[in-house]
Structures are given as C-alpha cells and as structure tokens.
C-alpha cells in the first residue's frame, strides 16, 4: 500500500493541482488511519457542525494553498469548469475512462469473492479490492455494486479463524464507506454494525480491532442511530484503555458521532456508557478529554427533562469530574467551546436534579466560579488574555449556573423542587454566607466594570435572589465591606426597565431586612433620591447627580412583542426552554406601571414623611462640601488683580480642606461628591470659565493663559505633595480614584449590539448609485419650513449608504435643490468630484462577497507636510523620490501624497468615511441638515447620527437591526456664511510666539493647557454635566501628571524669582508621578472591548461615536491593550492583536501578535548582510506604500520567514545607531568620544536617555563630511521602516528618546523637555531661566538698582566670566545670532540666549529632520494614528518588552512537546537558568531564538509561534 501515492503521481502529474483534486483520494488512506484528528479538530471548534466527511478531495485542494498565496480565479476542485476550459478536456475524459475501468474491476472482484472459498484466494481478492478502493472515485461505484459487496464483506468480517481475512474485510468496509458514503446505509442493512461490535466486544487481534474502529467511525457519521441500537457505544468503550492514544481518539470519535443525534426515547442505550465516559475524563490527552466532555454534554442535554436520569448522572461522579476540568487552578487545558459546554452541563444538572444542586454546593462550586468570574473584570483596565469572544458566552453560562444555585422563589413552575432547594439552603446557611462573601463582590464588580446589559441583568437578578434567600444576619455580614449602596445607586442610573425593576426589588429586600442601617447608607449614596425621582421627578430636577426620572418611564413603549432580529427580552434571559426562537415572540412580562408602583410602595413603607418632605436628608459631609464648592465659585467671581498671591493662597487653602475631607475618617460617597458641586466648581475655576463655553474667545491671550497656568500650579502644588494627615497615597491619587468611581457610576455611554443577520448586498441611491455589501438606510429629504432659497426635493424614500458623510450627501442634493441658472453646470462639476469621497471600496461591485471587502484603515491619504517644511521640501526634492513611481503629468507634490494602489475612501471603525482629499476641499457647507429639529454634527456618519437618535429614546444597548427598516426624515436648509471657529490646537506654543518677545522665554514654560477646556469631548454629552466635568477634570490631571516636572519646576523657579529660595541646587527635585493605570477606566475599557469584539459593528461602522471621540480626546481612559487593538483597527482596518479562542486554562490562553494569513499578501525580499542599508532603501522603495507583509531572506543563506525578518529589523536598527551618520546628538564630535560602544564587531552610539536629532543650522549644508541632504534621506527611510515595523508587527532594537516620540506625534517641546534627553544642558538652561525670572521680578519691584548686578550671578560667578558665545552648546558651527548685542552672553542678553538655544535644540534646528521622518512614516500609514499613545507606550509598541521573566510566566507561556512536559526535570533546570539571565544574556538568548533581542509588546504571551521546548531524538 505504500506505493499508492507514487502510482497516482505518475498518472496525473501533468494536470494542474486544483483539477487533480477533483477526483483524487490522496488523503483517504491517511484519513482512514487517523480520522480522529479531523474529528477532534471539529470538536474543538465546531462541535455541532461536523456532519460531513472532512477528508474529501476538494478540502485537500482548498487547503493546499500556501499562506498568503493568492487564490486562483477558478474554484478549487470544481469540475464544472472543464466544459469551459478546453485545457481540461483530457482530464475529464481520463476520469470517465478510469471510472469505467474501475467498474469493470469491481464486477470481476465481486465475482471472485462470490466464487472463491479458499482463504488464500479470498486474501488475494480482498487485497485487490482494497487497492482498487483506495484509488477509485465515487463515480466508479454504484449503489447496486455497493449493495452486492456489503453482505460479502460483512460475512468475511465475521470469519472465525483467519485474522488476515478479518483485517482486510474490515479495511474494505472502511474504504467503501470513504469512497461511497451512501454505502453506510447498505452496510447497516446487512448487519455490518453488529458484526463489527462483536469483534470489539471480544478482542482477539489488536490490529483487527483497530481496523474495526476505523470502519465503525465511518459508518457512525451517517448512521448514528443504527450504531447506537447495535450497542456500538458500549462495544467501543469496552477495551478502550488497551489501545494507543491515536486509536482511543478514533473510538471516542465514534461515540461523539452517535451523541450528536441521540434519540429522545430509550435513554438506556447510552446511559450505560456514562460510567466509562466519566472514567475517561481522568485521562491526560486533551483531545480525548474534550471528546468525552462533548459526549457527556450531549447526553445531559438529551435527558435534561428527566430528573431520575439526571440523578443517575450525578451518582456516577460526573459533577466531580466536571468541576475538576473547569477549575482554573487544575492545570487542565480545554478549548473554550468545550469549557463552556461543561458549564452548561452543570446548569442542566443543577436545574433539573436536586441531587446535582446539593452536590455542587458540597463540592464548593463557589470557589471555582469565583476564579472564573475574576477573569472577567481586571482592575485598572489591564486586559486579560482570556477575554476572547467566547468568554462572553462563558460568563453567560456561569451566570445561568449561579441563577440555578440561587433559585428564585417567585416565577418558578416547579415549586416542589424549589422548596427542596430552599430548605437545603436554609438548613445550611454557611453556603449562602460563602456565596455572598465569594461571589457578591465579583457580581458588583462586573456591573461596575461596564458589563453589557444582559450580563448586568444577570448579575443583579442573582443578587436579588441572594438577598431574598439570606437572613438579616447573613446580609449584615456580607454587605458590610461591599459598598453595596453605592453599587445600587449606580444601577439606578441605568435606563433599562428590567434592570430598574430588579434594583427596586433589591432595595425593598435590603430595607425590609436591614432597616435603619440600610436607610442611612441609601441616603448617603443617593439611592433614596433615585427612588424618589421615579415618583416625583420635579423635586429632583435641580440636582447635579443624574437620576432616571419617572418622566422618562412614560416615554418608553418597548413593552411590545419582541420582533425577530431584536434582542430577546430580558424577562426570558434565564429560561431553560428548548425553543428560544419561540420565546422571542413573547410579550414582555413587565407591566408599564410596575416600576412607578413599586417605587411608590417602597417610599410609603420605608421612608418617613419628614424625610421625604425636607432637605434634612442631606448629610453633614455633603453640606460641608457644598460650602467649599461655593467658596471656589466666589473666588471665580473675584477679579485677578494685584492681590493674586492672596487669591492663590486662598484657593490652596480650600483645596487642602477638600483633600482632607476626601481622605478623612468618614468616607464620601459618589452621590455626595457629585451633588456637592465640588467637581463642577473645580473645573470651572481651573479652566477660568472655558469648560462651560461652547466657543472660546481669548481676547487677552497671554493673560488668559497666565491665569490658567497659575491656577494649575497651585492645584499641582497641593495634589503632588503629601499632606500631614496623609501617610499613604498622594492627594492626586485619592482624587483620581474618587473621580473614577464617580465616572463608573454615572456614565451611560451606549453599547451598540448588531443583532442583524449576515451582511447583504443592497443598492445605495445616495450618494452616487451603486451596489454595497451592507444594508442601506432609508431616508426622506424634506425642505425646511420657511426655506425659500432652495427647491423642494420631497421625492420617494431614498436608500443612502450608511457611511456617507454629510459632505457627500450635500454634493448629491445641492445641485438638485439649488435655485440657480447654473444648476446643471454646478451639478456636473460636483458629480465629477464625487468619486473622491465615495463611502466604500471603489472596486466593489454588486454581488461581490462581503468577505472580500477589506477596510484597510481610517485613511489612505498621507498627511500633508506642515508649513515649516519649506526648506525641507527643497532638500527632499533634490533627491530621488524614495519609493515613488512617477506617473506622467503628476507633480512632485502630488507624488508625495499619492498612494501606489488606487483606493476609494473606506469607512473607519466608527463609520466615518475618510477621503484622499482634504476636508478643506469643501470648507464652507452649502446645506445644513436637521433630524427632529436638531442640527446634525457634520463629523458623524449618517449611521451614527441615527444611532444617537435611537439612544436618546431607547435603552443603553441598541439592537441596530431595527435601523434598517425605519424611514428617517432629514430636513435641509441653506447654510449661513461660515465664521471662524476656535481651533483646539493650542495657538500659543513656543514655536508660534515671537522669539524676541520679552515674554517669549517665559511663555515657553506655560503648558499648552487651553486645549483641555476647548471643544467637545463627546458630541452627545451635554456640557456642562457631571460626566463631562469628571472627564475634563481627569483630563486636566492626566496632563498635569505627564507635565509634573514642568509644573513643579515652574513653581520652584517662581519661588527663586521671588526670593523664597536662594540656592540654585534647590531647583533639582524628583517629580512625583502617578501611575498611568490610575487614569484608566475599567468600565469604559470593557465597553470599548465589547464593541471591538463585535466584528459586525467594526466592519459596518456600527460603533457608537463616543468610542472614536473619547479615544481621540481622552485616550488615557482606556487601557494600553484596548488602545493597541483600536490602533490596529483604525490604522490597518483589522484586529491584529487577537485572543486565542481555541484554548482555555492557565496554560492554554495567550494573546497572539499575528494577523490573518489571508488578510495581507506576503512578499519576500532578498537582503545582503554587507549592504543592509542599501537593501532597506530598495525594500522601502518597492513596498512602503503597499499593504503587504514583508518577509526577508538573506543572500546565500537558507531560511526565510519570521526569524530572518526579525533579524533584519534588528540589524537595520543597529545600522541607524552607527556613528558618523549626522543624525543624533551623541554622534557629534563634541559628544561622541565617550558615547560609542562596540557591539558584535561594529560601533554603536551609546544613548542612555534615548536618541534625539542633533541640531543643524538652517544655512548649513555640510558638517564633518556629512551632507544634510543625506541626513534628511536617512530620516525619511527611518520613518518608513518604523511605520512598516508597526504595520507588520515587528520589533525594532532602537532606543529613541521620549522627547523625539513627542515630536513625531505632534507635540511641541519646551525648555522643560530638554533634561529628558540631555540632563546637563537642560539643568543649566533651567538655572539660567531662573536667573532671568529673578531679574525680571527685581526690576518689576525695585527697578534698576546698583545692587541688581551683584545679586544676579550664576553660582557666584559673573555671567560674563563664563565666556559663553551665541552658539549652540557643543555645536560651534551653529551660530544663534550675529547681532552686535549677541556676541558674548551677559545678564542683559541671557534671556535671548536661553530662548535661542531652546529654539535651536527643540524646534528650528531639528524641525526638518522631524518632518522628514513624518513624511516617510506617512507613506506607510498616517502617523496621526499614534497620537492615542504616550511616549512610553510608543517605545513599548515599537521596541517591545524588556522586562525580567518570572518562573511562572515562563511556565505559562512556553510550550513543551515531543516527550517533555512542564514537570520534566530538564525543563525545570532550563527555565531556572533562563530566569537567572541578566539583561545582556536575555537579549542574546532572544536574538538566538527569535531573531530579535526583545520580545514583542505583550511579552512571552505575544510570541507567535510560541517558544517550544522539545526532546532531542
């Protein structure tokens, strides 16, 4: 049989591979020998869909394409194309003739088998039959022939004496089922299954038994019921322990096939196998255990309505084994579908069996469920690798299990079983106490962390059941440290009526069982006011704390039958019926007045009239905070004049009192914190009123910024300094945590769940009439009332592409409604310009599959170079255009912004359409659009506009499917003349100020904080509002934290100037920094993670607008992992960072840094080691502008792929750090003597603070034999390489300074940034600036005096004695000024000198290099996508991780195979040795193993493929 593959190759080797696959059976023999591999793969990923033979020839052909290889136009394995293409006519004729020949052979073999009686002759014929079957096709056989062979083969399989005949007969049966699947029914009719089972029940020959298992596996695929009735399950499991692992997998494959279609009657046929299956759960093989778990899940599902059978399952120890498998600490690795299936099995056992319910409690299931739920929410938004798409299903299953473990006493049909369970819990209060201690805090945490509405509902209904079952003593103990009232107050801000109803039930149970203790906390946390607002909303309309009022209840009309395509009503969320589709059509159980009546009953029963009718309900701490807030408002109303110092001190005193209260012995609730108005007053005072203004008018620009700067300095002085009463965290940390808690309780940003069916092709009439691969919105355009300058366009309803921006709609509509004699001409011009802003891929045609439509990113256009690039442009265009293929008639400026592949604009992840043309193409809108009387924000897509309308009147979770059937009316009016709007970009940065202005140097110290309070954070967030104020204050504090050194330096320099500090050494200090994770909102992070996990929402632009707007304005609110995912979606249009859903457990979960093999074309490039820089230039010339994944192959070396590619990026990183390139500060002659080190035989610049561009004078073309034009080209190349590394997920070994990262993401540098890359120069300039400030202060107070010059010395040395000239320190060829007053530095011109040096170092001397880097970067993808990261995060994103390794981390993320396990002694020794590596040894080890000296972002968990340790054979 070993020659079969060779024989086939000789026959058809001349035919194309895709055609040979039509009828070839190359893989059949191997599939027959090891079919369980395919079965297990199906079990791991699609347990319900393995209904077809996975070893067909077409599947083999389809999988034969290499990774990244583009598929051919013809369908693989399709023979229909032979009639079209004459090249394959010979192949078709060959198959016909071959089938006819095989048919003749089968007849001859059949005749021989019928006549032959001698064993030797039968063996010969059976051998020939197996040979022919292994190469024939389905066309070679007929039902008649198969029916004739079946009884003969069955008879021979029953042979009593000759094992060879038994073996060959069983093999022939296997091959017959493989080549002709319909023969399974014929074999069953001739009693093949009992014959095979007979061989398995009494095994005489092991090879015969193994072959029988192969045959039975084939038959069980199509005839599972017949196999079950013949006792196949028991026969297969009878001697399973004696087989090898691969054969055991085949045996379990048979059982799994049978369990897929178990009959509803006769459970005894499969219940007898349960003990054997439970025993197999203890085996070590993962695939085997998963198959067994799948079988038990199906068995439990079939008998779920039979309590006796469920009890029988429990008696066999199934629950004990299942809990061991789902225990995260057991070390067992299971695929996520199987893991979730086991939890679902426990749900059914607990629901239908009292024995199962009791057993789960006795086995301490709460501890295991606690560990599972703990992975759902991660503090401070650090993403867990287990949070994959399947994890949401897992959480739902866990909540269902918890619901069954805490049965509801109401609304339950089986009262007897519920009473038994209730009696058990009453007699065992310790279980309820353990439940409350372990599970309740996690449920509260899940709700607070931004769980979707269904998870939130599940959590609170379980909490309600717990409160109903628990006694007062248990509740008092459980709720003591859970901050329960604050949690409940946050629930009352939800909009869903089901959630509010359960929240009221929880409040009622708490008040009934805990009385006054609960009432006090309800008043303190605002629950009392939330309930009161549901009854009398007019009383609470003046409050700052948002509540869900009774008026809003009457608006909702959702108590209607749920439509198909709309999310199932929450009333049926925990029903265990078997027809969910039927329940979807049921009406909601919640009556319209239920909430109002329940709230009224609570108020009548538990709230006294005095409490309800008086403001005495406000606590003392709230009154004190209100007084402090009023004091801040009074300060705001006072003019800032000569008594500003007293003004600042009073503000500091008020802040000090607030900080003491926040950290006092009496805790302050979120309600008290917000209702007091402290946050609102602080934001208003710090912003000097800007936070409440939609438009900012800065008449006195410098004076206005000085006011903000002084207030922020005072604020920073307090929050960064520990108070006497504080021994732990800084006031900054305390305030941040209080704001984060308030944000989690109050924000209600919607989560859009796309519940529509598959994407379908539709025709969009607007903007330009074309087919799109997604549904269209139905819009009716109507002229506004009183509008006489426009025509009416009230035609029928038009279909509009949902991603269409208003600019495109305006271009479509304006020519049709404009009253002008030039309408036709203007319409023609507009239509000619229309393709520049099409909403979808221009190459997509009607009927094309949506899976081929890729959203490559938010923008394919490269950013225009800034105005300061005038000198750079000349230098760049003098050189060859790197990587650009010139087109006839295309100018050089157009070439810089062109894209090598023609692409239409594409929708980003939020639905807005990006265009290759700039928004300035249409600076003044001609039409204004209105929806329900409200003007539409032109920055949103039409889809987002309509979603926002639904959000205003609907639930916080919107099923967007209903948008497609609704008709929306848009009103249009003529736009007025545009007026100049305030730019959010700070116009007062150092580079925009006059260099010689006497306040210029001082203004360099003022942070650009005005942008914090200008513009909108989120378009649909009211301004002012509590959530808005919280976010603005967090944004201000985060900016202050990043600029803490700047703020504290300015404070100390002011003290030095005013004489409160005399020693320049006192200017040195360590700025206190708050960890960036403190600013991360775990709730918002989880919400945006939910949105990004919804692939349909991402691909159709269905993400709500707040995701994009908050990510742009306040990215610090989201975790680094969430922003990294968002970055890949926005920049590349796909999720490059994915969670691996195929495994679950401590060793099976990982975050892979990979991209889909079919998403990008892979290109190989040959690189010469001795000419690495030239090779990089050629590579970027060819592929910088193309969306391809690059793979490197070194010249005259074997090997390609990830390893050589990573090594290339490492080598090119080192190439850019060689001395003599003229790129970096450390490379200059004055610095390079002690800053060069030897690495691998070559010199590299040593830069402990990171690389920063060296300044080049504007008029300087050559320095130290280095041409400036070459420097510019190197920066362009570096920008391309950095962008390409980010795009392909590669790691660079390039340590850039934080200041350089700031520059490339568009931030300006000031004097205070210089110490970060040149501490010595920075410290000296700061001391010079302090002298300048003291000189200015003395002159303002005393005027010119004789003692002034004597007092102003630099460390007791006259400034003239320093002999400083007007050149950049260390760069004598960079002359700052040649004026007569600027020869030598003295106290008179010291201010100018500092200003000149700072400008040359951070602006004019390096701006051309920075712009060159950006221009190269933008050729790959827009650099603006990096602005959501900080400098440290950019270093981590580009250069990966550089942390030490813990032993547990190595054990979790290293794979062991080929005889090694995690407990093998050599493995333990190796891991202990690796753990002890120092930094250089670690770099060398990684360089040897991966090709790069650093791990990718995410560490060992992100390595793909994983680091694997195998036994050497």
Compute the C-alpha angle 241/244/245, nearest 5°: 90
Give 656: exposed, middle or buried? Use CB within 10 Å, 0-12, 13-18, 19+. middle
For residue 1001, cis peptide bond before it (omega within 30 degrees of 0) = no
Asked if residue 1230 lies in contact with residue 1376, where contact means CB atoms within 8 angstroms, the answer is: no
What is the mean pLDDT of the segment spanning 626-634?
89
Q: Which residue has the higher pLDDT, 362 or 1458?
A: 362
pLDDT in tens, 463-483: 999 998 888 989 888 888 778
Residue 718: pLDDT above 80? yes
Query: How far is it, in rounded angstroms, from Cα 853 to Cα 844?
Result: 7
Q: Quickly state the pLDDT bin for 403 (edges 50, 70, 90).
A: very high
Burial 1447-1476 (b: 16+ CB within 10 A, else e): eebbbbbbebeeebebeeeebeeebeebee
Residue 906: pLDDT above 50? no
Q: Quickly state the pLDDT bin for 212 (edges 50, 70, 90).
A: very high
Q: Quickly state the pLDDT bin for 556 (edges 50, 70, 90).
A: very low
Q: What pairing do the DSSP bridges indicate for beta strands 1242-1245 and 798-800?
A: unpaired
Neighbours of 615 (CB within 10 A): 6
By three-state DSSP, how is residue 784 classified? coil
Residue 982: pLDDT above 80? no
Of 675, 627, 740, 661, the C-alpha closest to 529 is 675
By three-state DSSP, how is residue 90 classified? helix
Neighbours of 1077 (CB within 10 A): 14
Mean of per-residue pLDDT scores for the chain:
75
**What's the confidence (pLDDT) of residue 951?**
65
Of 951, 1096, 1105, the C-alpha closest to 565 is 1096
Q: What's the Cα-to-Cα distance from 600 to each of 461, 604, 618, 836, 1108, rounded to whole Å? A: 21, 6, 21, 59, 41
For residue 294, cis peptide bond before it (omega within 30 degrees of 0) = no
Asked if residue 1085 lies in contact with residue 1122, where contact means CB atoms within 8 angstroms, the answer is: yes
**What's the confidence (pLDDT) of residue 1048?**
85
Residue 670: pLDDT above 80? yes
- Helical spans, DSSP H, in 264-414: 268-271, 274-280, 286-302, 307-315, 318-326, 336-352, 354-362, 365-374, 389-405
Total number of residues shown for the chain: 1513
Question: What DSSP designation does 1383 have?
Answer: S
**What's the confidence (pLDDT) of residue 291?**
93
**What's the confidence (pLDDT) of residue 464?**
92
pLDDT in tens, 1040-1060: 888 888 888 888 888 888 888
**What's the confidence (pLDDT) of residue 878?**
40
**What's the confidence (pLDDT) of residue 944?**
75
Compute the C-alpha angle 143/149/151, nearest 5°: 110
Q: Give me the percent of the chain exceeding a pLDDT of 90.
A: 22
pLDDT in tens, 673-697: 888 889 999 988 888 777 766 555 5
**What's the confidence (pLDDT) of residue 1411?**
95
**What's the confidence (pLDDT) of residue 1018?**
64
By three-state DSSP, how is residue 968 classified? strand
What is the mean pLDDT of the segment spanning 835-862?
33
What token pair was written down for 1396?
């000149």
Strand order in the sheet with 967-974: 798-800, 777-783, 967-974, 927-931, 934-935
Q: Quickly state the pLDDT bin for 615 (edges 50, 70, 90).
A: low
What token pair was written down for 1067?
């200017």
Neighbours of 161 (CB within 10 A): 7
Residues 6+ apart with CB under 8 A from 979: none
Q: What's the Cα-to-Cα distance from 752 to each of 159, 739, 1087, 1104, rounded to whole Å? A: 66, 25, 10, 7
Of 632, 723, 609, the C-alpha closest to 679 is 632
3-state secondary structure string, 513-526?
HHCHHHHHHHHHHC
pLDDT in tens, 176-203: 998 899 999 999 999 999 999 999 988 8
pLDDT in tens, 306-345: 899 999 999 998 999 999 999 887 777 788 889 999 999 9
Q: Give me the percent of the chain exceeding a pLDDT of 70.
A: 71
Question: What DSSP designation does 954 have?
Answer: S
DSSP labels, 1291-1312: -----B-HHHHHHHTTPPP-GG
Q: Which residue has the higher pLDDT, 693 or 934?
A: 934
Q: Which residue has the higher pLDDT, 1351 or 372?
A: 372
**What's the confidence (pLDDT) of residue 688?**
79
For tokens 């709460």, name the residue: 366
Residue 85: pLDDT above 50? no
pLDDT in tens, 19-31: 333 333 333 333 3
Lowest pLDDT segment from 459-463, 699-703, 1099-1103: 699-703
pLDDT in tens, 1078-1091: 999 988 998 888 88
Query: How far is it, in rounded angstroms, from Cα 1001 to Cα 1394?
Result: 7
Neighbours of 1107 (CB within 10 A): 23
For residue 940, cis peptide bond before it (omega within 30 degrees of 0) = no
Of 1437, 1173, 1099, the C-alpha closest to 1287 is 1437
Of 227, 219, 22, the C-alpha closest to 137 is 22
Q: How crowded is the C-beta side of 890, counted as CA atoms within 13 Å?
A: 15
Q: What pairing do the DSSP bridges indicate for beta strands 1262-1263 and 1266-1267?
A: antiparallel
Asked if residue 1374 lies in contact with residue 1405, where contact means CB atoms within 8 angstroms, the answer is: yes
Query: How far is it, in rounded angstroms, from Cα 337 to Cα 328?
Result: 15
Query: How far is it, in rounded angstroms, from Cα 208 to Cα 196?
Result: 10
Residues 6+ apart with CB under 8 A from 1007: 709, 712, 1039, 1043, 1046, 1047, 1310
**What's the confidence (pLDDT) of residue 991?**
37
Give 1391: exposed, middle or buried? Use CB within 10 Å, 0-12, 13-18, 19+. buried
Residue 1117: pLDDT above 60? yes
Question: What DSSP designation does 75 have?
Answer: P
Asked if residue 1070 lies in contact with residue 1079, where contact means CB atoms within 8 angstroms, the answer is: no
Query: How far is it, in rounded angstroms, from Cα 890 to Cα 892?
Result: 7
State the DSSP H helix or E strand holding residue 928, giving kind and residue range, or none if neither.
strand 927-931
Residue 401: pLDDT above 50? yes
Q: Quickly state the pLDDT bin for 1258 (edges 50, 70, 90).
A: confident
């Amino acid at each position: 049989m070993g020659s079969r593959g060779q024989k086939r190759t000789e026959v058809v080797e001349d035919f194309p591979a895709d055609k040979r696959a039509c009828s070839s059976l190359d893989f059949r023999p191997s599939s027959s020998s090891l079919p369980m591999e395919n079965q297990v793969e199906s079990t791991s990923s699609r347990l319900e869909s393995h209904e077809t033979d996975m070893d067909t020839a077409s599947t083999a052909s389809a999988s034969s394409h290499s990774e990244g290889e583009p598929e051919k136009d013809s369908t693989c394995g399709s023979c229909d194309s032979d009639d079209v293409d004459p090249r394959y006519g010979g192949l078709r004729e060959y198959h016909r003739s071959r089938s006819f020949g095989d048919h003749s052979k089968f007849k001859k073999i059949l005749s021989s088998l019928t006549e032959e009686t001698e064993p030797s002759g039968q063996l010969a014929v059976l051998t020939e039959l197996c040979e022919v079957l292994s190469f024939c096709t389905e066309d070679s056989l007929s039902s008649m022939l198969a029916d004739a062979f079946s009884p003969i083969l069955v008879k021979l399989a029953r042979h009593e004496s000759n094992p060879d005949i038994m073996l060959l007969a069983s093999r022939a049966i296997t091959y017959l089922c493989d080549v002709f699947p319909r023969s399974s029914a014929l074999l069953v009719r001739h009693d093949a299954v009992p014959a095979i089972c007979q061989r398995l029940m009494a095994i005489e020959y092991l090879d015969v038994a193994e072959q029988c298992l192969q045959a039975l596996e084939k038959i069980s695929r199509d005839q599972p019921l017949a196999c079950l009735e013949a006792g196949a399950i028991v026969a297969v499991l009878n001697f399973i322990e004696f087989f090898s692992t691969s054969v055991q997998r085949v045996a379990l494959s048979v059982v799994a096939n049978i369990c897929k279609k178990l009959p509803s009657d006769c459970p005894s046929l499969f219940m007898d196998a349960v003990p054997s299956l439970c025993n197999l759960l203890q085996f070590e093989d993962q695939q085997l255990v998963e198959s067994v778990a799948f079988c038990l899940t199906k068995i439990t599902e079939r008998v779920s309505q039979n309590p006796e059978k469920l009890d029988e399952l429990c008696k066999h120890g199934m629950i004990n084994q299942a809990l061991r498998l789902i225990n995260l600490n057991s070390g067992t690795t299971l695929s996520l579908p199987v893991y979730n299936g086991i939890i679902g099995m426990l749900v059914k056992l607990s629901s239908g069996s009292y024995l199962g319910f009791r057993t789960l409690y006795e086995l301490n299931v709460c501890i295991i469920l606690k560990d599972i739920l703990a992975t759902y929410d991660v503090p401070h938004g650090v993403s867990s690798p287990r949070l994959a798409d399947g994890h949401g299903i897992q959480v739902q299953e866990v909540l269902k299990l918890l619901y069954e473990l805490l049965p509801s006493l109401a609304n339950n049909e089986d009262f007897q079983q519920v009473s038994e369970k209730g009696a058990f819990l009453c007699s065992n209060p310790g279980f309820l106490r353990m439940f409350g201690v372990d599970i309740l805090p996690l449920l509260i945490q899940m709700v607070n962390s931004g769980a979707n509405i269904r998870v939130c509902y599940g959590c609170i209904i379980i909490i309600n059941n717990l409160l109903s079952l628990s006694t007062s003593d248990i509740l008092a103990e459980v709720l003591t440290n859970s901050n329960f009232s604050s949690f409940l107050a946050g629930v009352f801000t939800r909009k869903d009526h089901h959630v509010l109803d359960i929240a009221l039930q929880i409040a009622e149970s708490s008040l009934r069982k805990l009385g006054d203790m609960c009432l006090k906390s309800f008043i303190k946390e605002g629950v009392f006011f939330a309930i009161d607002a549901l009854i009398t909303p007019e009383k609470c309309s003046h409050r700052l704390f948002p509540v869900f009022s009774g008026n809003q209840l009457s608006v909702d009309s959702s108590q209607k039958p749920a439509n198909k395509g709309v999310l199932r009503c929450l009333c049926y969320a925990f029903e265990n019926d078997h027809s969910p589709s039927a329940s979807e059509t049921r009406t909601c159980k919640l009556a319209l007045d239920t909430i109002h009546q329940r709230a009224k009953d609570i108020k009548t029963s538990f709230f006294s009239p005095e409490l309800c009718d008086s403001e005495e309900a406000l606590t003392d701490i709230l009154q004190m905070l209100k007084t402090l807030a009023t004091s801040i408002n009074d300060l705001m109303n006072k003019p800032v004049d000569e008594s500003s110092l007293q003004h600042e001190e009073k503000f500091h005193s008020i802040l000090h009192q607030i900080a003491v209260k926040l950290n006092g012995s009496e805790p302050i609730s979120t309600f008290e914190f917000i209702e007091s108005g402290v946050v609102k007053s602080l934001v208003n005072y710090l912003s000097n009123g800007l936070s409440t203004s939609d438009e900012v008018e800065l008449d006195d620009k410098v004076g206005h910024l000085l006011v903000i700067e002084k207030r922020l300095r005072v604020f920073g002085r307090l929050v960064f300094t520990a108070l006497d009463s504080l021994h732990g965290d800084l006031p900054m940390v305390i305030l941040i945590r209080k704001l984060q808690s308030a944000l989690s309780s109050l924000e209600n940003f919607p989560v859009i769940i796309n519940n529509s069916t598959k994407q379908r092709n539709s025709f969009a009439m607007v903007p330009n009439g074309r087919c799109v691969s997604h549904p269209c919105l139905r819009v009716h355009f109507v002229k506004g009332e009183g509008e006489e300058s426009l025509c009416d366009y009230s035609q029928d309803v038009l279909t509009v592409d949902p991603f269409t921006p208003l600019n495109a709609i305006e271009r479509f509509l304006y020519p049709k409604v404009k009253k002008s004699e030039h309408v036709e001409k203007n319409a023609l011009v507009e239509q000619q310009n229309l393709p520049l802003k099409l909403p979808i891929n221009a190459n997509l045609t009607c009927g094309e599959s949506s899976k081929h439509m890729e959203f490559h990113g938010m923008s394919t256009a490269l950013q225009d170079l800034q105005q300061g690039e005038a000198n750079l442009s000349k230098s760049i265009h003098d050189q060859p255009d790197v990587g650009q293929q010139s087109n006839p008639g295309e100018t050089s400026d157009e070439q810089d912004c062109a894209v090598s592949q023609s692409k239409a604009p594409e929708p980003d992840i939020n639905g807005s359409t990006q265009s290759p043309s700039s928004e300035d193409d249409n600076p003044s809108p001609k039409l204004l659009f209105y929806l329900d009387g409200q003007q539409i924000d032109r920055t949103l897509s039409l889809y987002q506009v309509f979603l926002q309308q639904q959000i205003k009147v609907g639930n916080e979770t919107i099923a967007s499917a209903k948008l497609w059937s609704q008709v929306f009316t848009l009103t249009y009016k003529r736009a007025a003349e545009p007026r100049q709007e305030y730019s959010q970009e700070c116009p007062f940065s150092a580079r925009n100020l006059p260099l010689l202005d006497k306040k210029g140097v001082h203004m360099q110290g003022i942070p650009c904080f005005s942008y914090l309070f200008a513009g909108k954070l989120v378009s649909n967030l009211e301004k002012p509002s509590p959530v808005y104020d919280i976010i603005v204050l967090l944004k201000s504090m985060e900016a202050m934290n990043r600029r803490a050194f700047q703020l504290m330096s300015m404070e100390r320099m002011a003290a030095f100037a005013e004489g409160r500090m005399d020693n320049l050494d006192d200017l040195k200090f360590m700025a206190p920094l708050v960890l960036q994770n403190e600013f991360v909102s775990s709730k918002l992070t989880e919400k945006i993670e939910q949105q990004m996990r919804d692939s349909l929402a991402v691909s159709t632009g269905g993400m709500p607008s707040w995701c994009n707007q908050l990510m742009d304005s306040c990215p610090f609110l989201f975790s680094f992992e969430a922003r990294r995912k968002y970055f890949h979606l926005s920049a590349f249009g796909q999720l490059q960072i994915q969670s691996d859903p195929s495994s679950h457990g401590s060793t099976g979960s990982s975050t892979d840094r990979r991209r889909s093999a079919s998403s990008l074309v892979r290109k190989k490039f040959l690189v010469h080691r001795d000419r690495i820089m030239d090779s990089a230039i050629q590579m970027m010339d060819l592929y910088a502008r193309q969306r391809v994944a690059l793979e490197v192959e070194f010249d005259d070396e074997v090997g390609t792929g990830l390893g050589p590619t990573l090594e290339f990026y490492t080598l090119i990183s080192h190439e850019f750090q060689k001395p003599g390139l003229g790129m970096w500060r450390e490379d200059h002659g004055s610095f390079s003597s002690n800053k060069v080190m030897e690495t691998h035989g070559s010199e590299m610049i040593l830069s402990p603070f990171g690389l920063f561009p060296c300044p080049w004078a504007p008029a300087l073309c050559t320095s130290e034999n280095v041409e400036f034009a070459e420097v510019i080209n190197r920066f362009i190349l570096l920008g391309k390489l950095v962008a390409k590394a980010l795009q392909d997920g590669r790691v660079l070994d390039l340590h850039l300074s934080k200041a350089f990262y700031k520059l490339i993401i568009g931030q300006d540098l000031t004097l205070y940034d210089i110490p970060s890359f040149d501490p010595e120069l920075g410290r000296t300039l700061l001391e010079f600036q302090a002298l300048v400030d003291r000189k200015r202060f003395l002159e303002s107070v005393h005027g010119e005096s004789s003692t002034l010059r004597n007092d102003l010395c630099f460390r007791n040395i006259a400034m003239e004695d320093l002999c400083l000239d007007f050149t950049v320190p260390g760069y004598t060829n960079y002359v700052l000024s040649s004026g007569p007053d600027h020869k030598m530095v003295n106290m008179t011109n010291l201010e100018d000198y500092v200003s000149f040096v700072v400008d040359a170092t951070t602006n004019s001397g390096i701006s051309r290099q920075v712009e060159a880097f950006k221009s190269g970067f933008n050729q790959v993808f827009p650099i603006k996508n990096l602005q959501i990261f900080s400098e440290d995060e950019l270093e981590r994103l580009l250069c990966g991780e550089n942390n030490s390794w813990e032993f547990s981390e190595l054990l979790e993320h290293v794979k062991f195979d080929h005889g090694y396990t995690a407990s093998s002694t050599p493995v333990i020794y190796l891991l202990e040795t690796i753990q002890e590596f120092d930094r250089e040894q670690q770099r060398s080890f990684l360089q040897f193993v991966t090709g790069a000296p650093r791990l990718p972002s995410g560490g060992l968990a992100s390595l793909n493929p994983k680091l694997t340790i195998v036994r050497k054979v």
